[in-house]
Amino acid sequence: MIFAVMAALLVTMVLTLLRAFLGPGLYNRILAINTFGTKTVLFVAVAGFLFGRPEFLDIGILYALVNFVATVAVLRLTHYRELVSEAEGGERG
Amino acid sequence: MIASHYVYWTFFALMLIGLYVVISHGNLLKKLIGLSLFQVGVFLFYIGLGKQDGGSAPIISDDVETYSHPLPQVLILTAIVVGVATLAVGLALAVRIFEAYGTVEEDEVLERDSTERLAERDRERAAEHDGGGS
Amino acid sequence: MTTTFTLINVSLLAILTATAVTITRLRALYEATMLAALFSLVTACLFVLLDAVDVAFTEAAVGVGISTVLLLGVLALTRSSESVTPRRRRLPGAIAVLLVGGTLGYASLDLPEFGSADSPVQRHPVTEVYLHQSQEDIGIPNTVTSVLASYRGLDTLGELVVVFTAGLAVLSLLGPLARPERTRPTADFHLADYRVIRVVSGALMPFILLFALYVLFHGDYGPGGGFQAGVIFASGFVLYGLVFGLDRAQRVVPRAALWLLVSLGLLLYIGLGVTTMLLGGSFLDYDVLASDPDTGQHLGILVVETAIGITVASVMTTIFFGFAGRGVAR
Amino acid sequence: MSVIEVLSGVLLAAGALAVLTGGVGMLRFPDFYTRIHAAGITDSAGAGLILLGLLLRVDSWDTAVRLLIILLFLALTGPTATHILAHAARRDGVPMWREGDRRQ
Amino acid sequence: MTGQLPVLQVAVPLLCAPLCVLLRSRFVAWLLFLAASLTSLTCAVWLAERVDRTGALRYAMGDWQAPYGIEFVVNGFNTPVLLLVSLSAVVAAVYSRRSVAAELDDRRVPLLYACLCLALAGLLGLSITGDVFNAFVFLEISSLSTYTMIAMGRRRQALLASFRYLVIGTIGATFLLIGIGLAYAVTGTLNMADLAQRLTGSHDNRALQAAVVFVFVGLAVKMAVFPLHAWLPAAYGEAPSAVSTFVAATGTKVAIYVFCRFAFTVFGASLVFGAMPVDRIGLLLACLGILAGSAAACFQDDLRYVLAWSSVAQVGYIVAGVSLATTAGVSGAYLHMIMHSVTKAALFAIAGVLLLRLGSVRLADLAGLGRRMPWTFAAFVVAGLGLVGVPPTAGFASKWALVTALVERDQWPVLVAMLAGSLLALVYVGRVIEVAWFREPPDGADPLRPPASMVAAIWFLVLLSLYFGIDASLPAHLADAAAAALLGKGGG
């Protein structure tokens, strides 16, 4: 059963990855990558059970955390770029 | 051969992809991204060396028999840290280059430097000429 | 079990290669950075699969939590799309790839089989010492930690010095010492737009810091340790800075305190080495720290991990402030 | 086969199904806003069911606590992330798909 | 306490770096760097003397015996390098006080000294360590601090120079890492002595041969061997003068030492020079490097770039000596390493003084220098002639040693290249002297007085090079001991 879950996760990873490759645009990719991050959290959890050592779930917690930080960073920093480039795009040439 | 070495070959392929990006792309940031890819390939190669079939993470526990080797993991921990330190310095330099030149494309930076040098030389020539004439 | 492993391994490797190729082809750098983050995540999964849990921990924290944020910060400050790579640049890259690839392929012919229990790496006496002897010498279940902090403590000191150097570099290039002449307009973050994220981040903050402490002190028994804890601390501050603005983040951790902490961690580590020398042992020989070698090793490793945690957290935060402060310079 | 094992199997199967559906939706849906819906399915239903299924299989309490923390964390950050994504996408004028438009 | 000397050598500069940052005072930072380099020099002298008397010293970190832990090894082959690096650091410390104050803004000065301490620690650690991975770590410490210091240069070109050095240097370091990984895969160990022992008899192992290639290409980048030298001219030409003085004297030299260490004591000469054609490739690249570097130096119009390109050529001389793989060749290479390091440090120091007083070191701006700064100019002439190899300067003694080694092995083409390189050196040094002596100074130019501490540092180096030129017994003794230790004839 656990192996089936793993297979489903891997297939979903590939599907999400295709979306990340195809885009279009930044937001589709961010969405795909955010979803992909959740998949990796699940991957770590399931892999732990699959290979008989489930005590390393700390890694899953960390993945969830950094995934969130990265998403927030993308949104913050892309938005900010527009502000700056509007204000002084001309000067910098 | 394929069954036992495909893993190494994939790691090598990752290194080569990174190396290609570093060498042939002119954008400084893309170069740094390529550099990280290159390094990640090497990290994976090291970790691959320590893996043992049916092994488990080298955290000693009563009900586990075989462990993968801890030494490559320690080395790569160090190497990852060195890699991110280099990346941070490279990015800081890229920001400063952008502020100084207005671009992060290597070719454009070089072009701007050489036009500056040519302009300087012209000025000098002109000054010399004036000095000789008067 | 082996088949399962191989199947998962092959899928992850395929995902990894496809991602790498796509990264090289994308000229929009924001997208390339996002895919680099994804690449890091997959690498980390692969590390888990290859039993390198500590490395996976670090790779995820560094690759996604720090590298991506820094790259995005730099993109925000510079230009975000790459110009077309001219044809003449491709040749040197292709030649280098061919040469290196040829050499690597040649080398692989004599590499031991992947996963073999009979390779020189596994047969060397070091393996036995690190895996079993260490239980008596040091007495910590996580052998990665004992090799990292004790057997090869000098490498780890070197690693910390590298981090310290990176902190110095960013301070000198982007810090308050290197203000750009032209000031920029204050960035308006539209904080009000993001009420949900503020509440959630605020709720998460104590949890993140607690998690970092847990990782720091649990490193002896499971994946984790000073470096990982430091990065988690730093990504906590990064999150705080991103959500609540740089000013508030700097009020929480003032620059002066960061300067102090950056040096303090390194001093603590070297000081530990000097102490062991003064107590009559050799550099970083923790046995002499207590009457009983086991306790001494535990104490030494604890100090080392704490020192690493302090320096890494403060350097990473300094670096982030350096980049972010560049954008909102007043 | 105990009841708990069966229950866990059912939960895992449901979770795997949800994850897969979400993945397919991610690829097949026509625009960004519909894809958020697919992402939501995998993030909440898929992750939740799988983690609960695993929770029934643990044999030590510290693993269980970690699973719960992951669950809590995903439940907290997932919706937040999709929320701000949608918010930002709307702000930046990501186009919306209507019946009859070309797929993006 | 004398047993702890090998580690003190590295630990003291490492300790001073965070203190520089913490105390944030320009004067204290300078004092710390001076103290660190003096301590290192004392340790190095002490160690050299002990090794000379009793043979190799080993120091096990954390009391874990090698190969389980990391060990430091002091032997005939690295004492000259330790002495060279720490002596250069002392000179750079004396020199830097005024030069750094003039070239950098006040608040960055402590950071520069911290980086100098780190670079010193990195280079010393790289020279002393007996563990291949530890060597990589120390290499990265020294490189990263060097990138940082180069970026502190005055002109904006320094930024790109630093960035390119960073990218090329990191590729080199990663190559080294791949090589170490392949060697590790074949042997399972990282300790140099253990590696050497386990490698004997596996000469036809293809992974091992690839490891040799990767390690040497990686080191060649750091050594600036001919086709991989692209980073060097701009890096040395744009760095703050105190930094180029220190780094030009030590950076490539330590990399060359590590090359020798790997070639002779890790992989073994029979594999590297017997089973693989490293010697022939080395000689070829050396010739190309000598010719290309010297020729390029003749066409530069900035004094510091002239010197930097000349460094590329000089690396060629040293590589030629090492590639001979004979005792005479390696000894000559060590001798040239010492002599060139003293000479080049003096020249870069002079360029720094000129930069301070004239505001530029473009050749056109040096007109009439001979009359405006007679003493500095005299120092330049002596050091410049040392570069050419005119007796009785230091350059002559070492080039003579290299020539005899080449003749012994009948390497005539290399000899021709070396002679051509020396003639070209005469051209580029002559060009500078011509401008400085025969051209009229600009109207209204007064004589200039350089700061006393900088002059003292320069003249110390110049007199040292003259002394070595007349009586080369001390460096020749060190070089012979090094060659003997490397090639396994005595020393242990």
CA distances from E415 to E283, E320, E405, E411, E480 (A): 10, 10, 10, 6, 22
DSSP C113: P
**Is C29–B30 a contact, with Cβ atoms under 8 angstroms apart?**
yes
**Average of per-residue pLDDT across E168-188:** 94
Say what the pTM is. Answer: 0.94
Q: Is pLDDT larger for residue C252 or for residue C309?
A: C309
Question: Given pLDDT bands bounded at 50, 70 and 90, which one contains residue E270?
Answer: confident
* Cβ contact E323:E287 at 8 Å: no
DSSP C154: H
CA distance C114 to C208: 38
Paired tokens of C232: 């988690």
**Is B56–A52 a contact, with Cβ atoms under 8 angstroms apart?**
yes
- Interval E28-66: pLDDT, tens: 999 999 999 999 999 999 999 999 888 888 999 888 888
pLDDT over threshold 80, residue E86? yes
The beta-carbon neighbor of A93 closest among B57, B64, B102 is: B102
B82 and E CB contact within 8 Å: yes
The answer for E 203-232 residues in CB contact with B (under 8 A) is none
pLDDT over threshold 80, residue C108? yes
**Average of per-residue pLDDT across C280-301:** 88
Answer whether C touches D (≥3 Cβ pairs < 8 Å).
Answer: yes
B85 and E CB contact within 8 Å: yes
Question: Given pLDDT bands bounded at 50, 70 and 90, which one contains residue C184?
Answer: very low
pLDDT over threshold 60, residue A87? no
Answer whether D touches E (≥3 Cβ pairs < 8 Å).
Answer: no
**Average of per-residue pLDDT across D86-98:** 77
ipTM: 0.93
Cα distance from C210 to chain E (closest Cα, Å)? 28
The answer for D 61-80 residues in CB contact with C (under 8 A) is 76-77, 80
Q: For chain C, how big is the Rg over CA atoms in Å?
A: 23
| Other Cβ atoms closer than 10 A to D90 | 13
Longest dimension (CA), chain B: 96
* H/E run at residue C314: helix C293-327
C113, amino acid identity: E
Paired tokens of E155: 């002109």
**Average of per-residue pLDDT across C16-39:** 90
Q: How far is CA D69 from the centre of its chain?
A: 16
In this prediction, residue E332 carries a pLDDT of 93
Calculate what percentage of chain C has a pLDDT beyond 70. 93
CA distance E231 to E251: 13
CA distances from C328 to A72, C53, C245 (A): 18, 38, 10
Answer whether C touches B (≥3 Cβ pairs < 8 Å).
Answer: yes
Q: Which residues are CB-contacts of C178 (< 8 A; sequence separation ≥ 6)?
A: B96, C172, E108
E141, E147, E126: which is closest to E9 by C-alpha? E126
CA distance B61 to C257: 41
* H/E run at residue E58: strand E57-60
The answer for E 347-376 residues in CB contact with B (under 8 A) is 364
C124 and E CB contact within 8 Å: yes
Rounded mean pLDDT of chain B? 87
**Is D84–C194 a contact, with Cβ atoms under 8 angstroms apart?**
yes
**C-alpha neighbours within 13 Å on the C-beta side of residue E170:** 33
- Interval E391-409: pLDDT, tens: 888 888 899 999 999 998 8
Query: What DSSP line would sit under E361-422, residue for residue?
Result: -BGGGGTTHHHHSHHHHHHHHHHHHHHHT-TTSHHHHHHHHHHHHHHHTT-HHHHHHHHHHH
The answer for B 15-54 residues in CB contact with E (under 8 A) is 15, 19, 22, 28, 31-32, 35, 38-39, 42, 45-46, 49
Q: Which residues of D1-24 are buried (b: 16+ CB within 10 A; e: fewer)?
A: eeeeeeebbebbbbbbbbbbbbbe
C262 and E CB contact within 8 Å: yes
**Is E160–B97 a contact, with Cβ atoms under 8 angstroms apart?**
yes
Q: Which of A68-72, C132-136, C181-185 has the lowest mean pLDDT?
A: C181-185
Torsion of CA E433, E438, E444, E445, to 10 degrees: 20
What is residue E442's three-state secondary structure? Answer: coil
**C-alpha neighbours within 13 Å on the C-beta side of residue E180:** 26
Name chain A contacts of D41, Cβ cutoff 8 Å.
none
CA distance E346 to E246: 10
E328, E334, E333: which is closest to E489 by C-alpha? E328
Cα distance from C299 to chain D (closest Cα, Å)? 25
CA torsion sign for C256, C257, C258, C260 is positive
Q: Which burial class, exposed, middle or buried, applies to E98 when counting CB atoms under 10 A from its CB (0-12, 13-18, 19+)?
A: buried
DSSP E104: S
Question: Given pLDDT bands bounded at 50, 70 and 90, which one contains residue B30?
Answer: very high
* Cβ contact C301:C149 at 8 Å: yes
- Interval E341-386: pLDDT, tens: 999 999 999 999 988 888 888 888 888 888 888 888 899 999 999 9
DSSP E267: I
The answer for B 86-105 residues in CB contact with A (under 8 A) is 102
D101, D102, D87: which is closest to D33 by C-alpha? D87
Query: What DSSP line would sit under E330-347, residue for residue?
Result: HHHHHHHHHHHHHHHHHH
Q: Which burial class, exposed, middle or buried, applies to E400 when counting CB atoms under 10 A from its CB (0-12, 13-18, 19+)?
A: middle
Rounded mean pLDDT of chain C? 86
Q: How many CB pairs under 8 A join B and C?
A: 281
Name chain C contacts of A66, Cβ cutoff 8 Å.
60-61, 64-65, 235
In this prediction, residue B38 carries a pLDDT of 94
- Cite the DSSP H helix spans in E409-446: 412-438
In this prediction, residue B46 carries a pLDDT of 94
In this prediction, residue A92 carries a pLDDT of 33
D98: left (phi over 0), alpha (psi -120 to 50) or beta: beta
Q: Cis peptide before E67, with omega less than 30 degrees from 0?
A: yes
Paired tokens of E187: 């042997």
**Is C97–B19 a contact, with Cβ atoms under 8 angstroms apart?**
yes
Q: Which residues are CB-contacts of E432 (< 8 A; sequence separation ≥ 6)?
A: E303, E306, E363, E366, E380, E384
Name chain C contacts of B71, Cβ cutoff 8 Å.
121, 126-127, 130, 147
Answer whether E touches B (≥3 Cβ pairs < 8 Å).
Answer: yes
Calculate what percentage of chain A has a pLDDT beyond 70. 83
CA distances from D46 to C4, D52, D76 (A): 22, 10, 15
Find the residue in A nearest to C324 (Cα): A77
* H/E run at residue A41: helix A25-50
E113, E122, E94: which is closest to E14 by C-alpha? E122
pLDDT over threshold 60, residue C329? no
What is the phi/psi pair of residue C28, to 5°? -80, 115
pLDDT over threshold 50, residue B132? no
CA distance E82 to E125: 9
Cα distance from A40 to chain B (closest Cα, Å)? 18
A53 and B CB contact within 8 Å: yes
CA distance E24 to B96: 24
What's the structural domain count of chain A?
A: 1
Note down the domain range covering A33.
2-92
Chains that touch A (3 or more CB pairs under 8 A): B, C, D
In this prediction, residue C42 carries a pLDDT of 93
CA distance A60 to A52: 16
- Interval E103-117: pLDDT, tens: 888 888 999 999 999
Q: Cis peptide before E441, with omega less than 30 degrees from 0?
A: no
Rounded mean pLDDT of chain E? 90
* H/E run at residue E60: strand E57-60
To test the contact with chain C by mutation, choose from B9, B28, B40, B76 the residue with the greatest count of C C-beta atoms within 10 A, namely B40
Paired tokens of C302: 């604890």
Find the residue in A nearest to B55 (Cα): A51
In this prediction, residue E429 carries a pLDDT of 92
Q: Is pLDDT larger for residue D97 or for residue E184?
A: E184
What is the phi/psi pair of residue C138, to 5°? -120, -40
- Interval E218-246: pLDDT, tens: 999 999 998 899 999 999 999 999 999 99
CA torsion sign for E262, E264, E268, E273 is positive
Paired residues of B59 in beta bridges: C142
A93 and B CB contact within 8 Å: yes
* Cβ contact E373:E357 at 8 Å: yes
Domain ranges of chain C: 1-83, 90-123, 129-330
CA distance E80 to E130: 16
Cα distance from E160 to chain B (closest Cα, Å)? 7
Paired tokens of D63: 């693993």
Name chain B contacts of E147, Cβ cutoff 8 Å.
89, 93
* Cβ contact C204:C284 at 8 Å: no
Paired residues of B56 in beta bridges: B67
The answer for B 49-78 residues in CB contact with A (under 8 A) is 56-57, 61, 64
| Other Cβ atoms closer than 10 A to C183 | 9
Residue with tokens 């643990």, as numbered in its chain:
D58
**Is E185–C157 a contact, with Cβ atoms under 8 angstroms apart?**
no
CA distance E492 to E490: 5
In this prediction, residue A79 carries a pLDDT of 57
* Cβ contact E179:E190 at 8 Å: no
Domain ranges of chain D: 3-91
DSSP E73: E
Name chain A contacts of C232, Cβ cutoff 8 Å.
62, 65
Report the CATH fold assignment for B2-102.
Helix Hairpins (1.10.287)
**Is A57–D67 a contact, with Cβ atoms under 8 angstroms apart?**
yes
Q: Which burial class, exposed, middle or buried, applies to D88 when counting CB atoms under 10 A from its CB (0-12, 13-18, 19+)?
A: buried
Q: Which of A7-16, C9-18, E434-443 has the lowest mean pLDDT?
A: E434-443
- Interval E115-133: pLDDT, tens: 999 999 999 999 999 999 9
* Cβ contact C237:C253 at 8 Å: yes
**Is C165–E198 a contact, with Cβ atoms under 8 angstroms apart?**
no
A43 and D CB contact within 8 Å: no
In this prediction, residue D103 carries a pLDDT of 63
The beta-carbon neighbor of C106 closest among E115, E122, E206 is: E206
E148 and B CB contact within 8 Å: yes
Cα distance from C76 to chain A (closest Cα, Å)? 5
Domain ranges of chain E: 289-492
